[in-house]
A and B are shown apart, each in its own frame.
Chain A
Amino acid sequence: MLILALTSRPDLFKCGAGILNLSEVTADLLSFIKADMTNDIEFDRIALQQFAFQFAHNKPFAKFARARGKTPRTVTSWTDIPAVPISAFKALEMTCCRPSEAEALFMTSGTTSSLSRGKIYHHSLSVYDASMRSNFSKRFMGGVERMQMGILYPTIEKMPNSSLAYYLNLAKRDFGKPDSSHLIGEVGIDFDRLIADLVRAETTRQPYALLGASFSLVHALDGLKERGFSVNLPTGSRILDTGGFKGQSRELTPNEFYNSLSNIFNVPRSHCINMYGMTELSTQFYDNGNTDSPSVKSGPCWANSRVVNPLTGADVPKGVSGVLVHTDLAHINIVTTILTEDIGIETDDGFILLGRAAGTEAKGCSMAVDEFLTATRSIES
């Protein structure tokens, strides 16, 4: 009884959490990333360590967790860590460091239903970089150290708060050959440059990698088709697309999209990789090519995904669709576990992404929130 009484004293616990500091938590994580070996016990240990750290230093998160009866004392497995809905990043400063001390601030794009943009503070980008590099090298580069790259996305200077711009910049900096380039200029895609790069890759027989937002690739496809251009990129060339079309280009089915890519660039669908990433995470998920669609996505050993019933948080059985929850140990300054608005199905090797769950319409004649926001915007304007 005495022991029970002692361990339930919050001040004693606080001391325990106080021992944790950022460099310790970071060091453990970096070695886990470096080892890159699936190890459930170690994953669980680091996740709980990070939860304790974030609970101690991320005030809004602690409040969120406490309201759900989740504290470092009651959470005994990584699956118990409360998942923070991505909308929380819009309302709160979900960070362990002071915003002014953060090295980088990434912001979500203001989509239709958002009142404001989500803010994600990275105390240091070293962990993000380590996670991205290890994973990108394994899942996209296919064993090649550097390739000539064309980036169909604005530069990080143009979009300083875009995590995707940062990611693509990092890809170019650390995996691109010196003649790699960003191909989006002031007035959209620089087709002269793109065509020149593609022709050069074809003539020199040097593999080429084209990376960008899915909708930019659609614009590139359309522009090249208009110019009657197609190219036989050499074996080993790859394409990375991410983010879907978001109403910024024509909507294509996965089959139409990957068939067009492989027709115009001569890159087989097995080498067309779709990356699924979120500003609200520090780790990305990839498929192993798009020979078959929809493809199965998975993350590295430091990021685990679950498919849950969003209302109860309980896992749904394999093969049943639910909402994706990601536990990303590299999201160290923020929270490990987020509840997305993406619908997925768990498979043996990962998950299939089915699309977004947001933007529901009212079933009856009562007004839905999204419609209200649209309507009031028109009132304001």
Chain B
Amino acid sequence: MIIEHAGYLPGVDADLVAWQANLYGPEGDQISVLLPVLLERQVVQLIGHVREQARLKLKSRPLGQIIDAIDLTISRLLDRQDPYRRRMDHLLPIITGYDREMVRLGLTSYLKTFRKPQLQRFLAEDFTNPTILDSFQPLPKGGLGRAFGPKILTHVWAGNVPGLPLWSLVAGLLVKAGNIGKVPTAEPMFASWFSQLFAEVAPELADCLAVVWWQGGDEVSETAVLKESDLVLGYGQNESLAAIQSRLPVTKRFLAFGHKVSIAMVSAEALNASKVSATARLVAYDVARYDQQGCYAPHMVFVEHGGSVLPKRFAQYLAYELAVFEEKFPLRPLSLAEASGIVSWRNMEEMIPGGQVFFADTGSWAVSYQTEESFLPSCLNRTIRVIGIDALTKVPAILAPFSDLLQTAGIAAPPEELVTLANSLGEVGVTRIAAIGDMTSPEAGWHHDGRFNLLDLVKITEIDGRAEGAADQLASYDD
């Protein structure tokens, strides 16, 4: 059986660490992942080490060198023959259950968004002059400013979508923070491998990040880590986020990224005979990719009446395209609870007056067509609700009560409509408008949940404009 060590623990004697073995994958193809179980003392030692090493080696390093180190790591991971990439391609499908090809293709297109030019764009998105992370730079208001990342930035990741931790980990490195990442049990390896490889590629920065694990709900470990952190990024459901917040002193900052709901919208123009198949295929792709587990995947599609294909007919086109994707990228094996959830959802949808559900005999996808204009998430795992609607302009009002939960809206509509809709969707809380088919692959530098990925992490130390003048008076050359 393949055994992998999760975590990355610089400065901690690996022989003194206890490991918990977790099995992943179906019987016959199982792998064992050893998860580090740290004592409170080891947590403190680890964080102390990372804090000190980041201070010594990261804070004064020019940003360009950090970008180069990340770029080099990513280029290794893009090389399909690289031993780390081969492990990812081989083992991530076993750990998560996602289809092998889907993971392989998904990783490549995802990793491509972390190359040097994309990282520079990422920086430019938040800082007019990114060198503000290296040294004091003139500020428009006068005076000078320099951006400092937190000494210790802790990431509490969640979920099993491969690669997601990379967003925040890269952001943490770019702002020169010492990074402590906590991996979820559902997928503990991606961030571990990335960090191990990063250490190999850039040994001078090897001690500036660490990857840890603790059992969800383990208050002792969580509290120990939180106490040592300056800024915490948390992902997951509101309940877990609230628990983190309750354990953080009020002086520490906490940025919470809760679970979100995304939707798609298809205008009548995308429903003529020559475009409908392509439209349905793109929506199906957004549904099938990682089985809707990403927060940018659609739960429901609002489909406009008035095209040459009726919304109900569109639901059938979508069903057909999902069946095609099932051939290409089969649904991951579901737990009994998930399977039960689908049956229950399908049934509820069927019972709504005017509702009709199209589904696979194997249960691997389901499309529910509804006429009632309401907002209710699907139960994921390739289940989607198609809602026929007179005009897409009515959608924002339906979304409005759920403002806090919204993220992406995928839109298939002509240009003027796209902008009009974007305005009213933004007003009700949607933070990202994407083309259908692109919903699940945000571009480099996107504003996750509408926030600034880097700017939110730093504090600006500014030199008041008058301080320069005052200092001048004390200079040796002062007359």
A residues within 8 Å of B by Cβ?
60, 64, 67, 85-88, 90-92, 115, 309-312, 321-323, 339, 341, 343, 357-369, 371-372, 374-376, 379
- Taking CB as reference atom, which chain A residue is nearest B361? A312
Report whether A364 and B294 are in contact in the complex, using a CB–CB cutoff of 8 Å.
Answer: yes
Partner of A363 from the list B160, B257, B377, B379 (CB cut-off 8 Å) is B160
Chain A nearest Cβ from B374, distance in angstroms: 11
Partner of A365 from the list B96, B164, B238 (CB cut-off 8 Å) is B164
Could you show 20 A-B contacts with beta carbons less than 8 Å apart?
Answer: A85-B347, A87-B347, A310-B339, A312-B362, A312-B363, A339-B343, A341-B344, A360-B337, A360-B341, A363-B159, A364-B159, A365-B236, A366-B261, A366-B293, A366-B295, A369-B377, A369-B379, A371-B238, A372-B261, A375-B405
**Given A358-B341, A364-B295, A376-B402, A343-B336 contact (CB < 8 Å):** yes
- A-B pair number, CB within 8 angstroms: 141
Q: Which of B266-306 contact A (CB under 8 A)?
A: 290, 292-295, 297, 299
**Given A362-B237, A364-B290, A375-B405, A310-B340 contact (CB < 8 Å):** yes
Number of interface residues of B (CB under 8 A): 54
Partner-binding segment picked from B119-127, B193-201, B223-231, B348-356: B348-356
Q: Which of B135-194 contact A (CB under 8 A)?
A: 158-161, 164, 186
Report whether B261 and A367 are in contact in the complex, using a CB–CB cutoff of 8 Å.
Answer: yes
Chain A nearest Cβ from B458, distance in angstroms: 24
B residues within 8 Å of A by Cβ?
96, 158-161, 164, 186, 235-239, 257, 259-262, 290, 292-295, 297, 299, 334-345, 347-348, 350-352, 361-364, 376-380, 401-402, 404-405
**Given A67-B350, A372-B261, A367-B340 contact (CB < 8 Å):** no
Partner of A311 from the list B96, B236, B294, B362 (CB cut-off 8 Å) is B362
Q: How far is the CA of A368 from the CA of B339 in the complex (A)?
A: 14
Complex contacts, B292 vs chain A, CB 8 Å:
364, 366
Partner of B340 from the list A91, A357, A372 (CB cut-off 8 Å) is A357
Complex contacts, A341 vs chain B, CB 8 Å:
340, 344
Q: How far is the CA of A360 from the CA of B96 in the complex (A)?
A: 16
Q: How far is the CA of A322 from the CA of B336 in the complex (A)?
A: 7
Q: How far is the CA of A310 from the CA of B342 in the complex (A)?
A: 9
Give the 5 A-B residue pairs with the shortest CB-CB distance, closest first.
A311-B363, A364-B293, A91-B351, A357-B340, A367-B259
Report whether B352 and A360 are in contact in the complex, using a CB–CB cutoff of 8 Å.
Answer: no
Complex contacts, B347 vs chain A, CB 8 Å:
85, 87-88, 91
Partner of B348 from the list A64, A91, A312, A371 (CB cut-off 8 Å) is A91
20 further A-B pairs in the complex, CB-CB below 8 A; given A312-B362, A357-B339: A86-B344, A92-B351, A310-B342, A310-B363, A311-B339, A323-B336, A357-B337, A358-B344, A362-B259, A363-B161, A364-B292, A364-B293, A365-B158, A365-B159, A365-B260, A367-B259, A368-B259, A371-B259, A372-B376, A372-B377
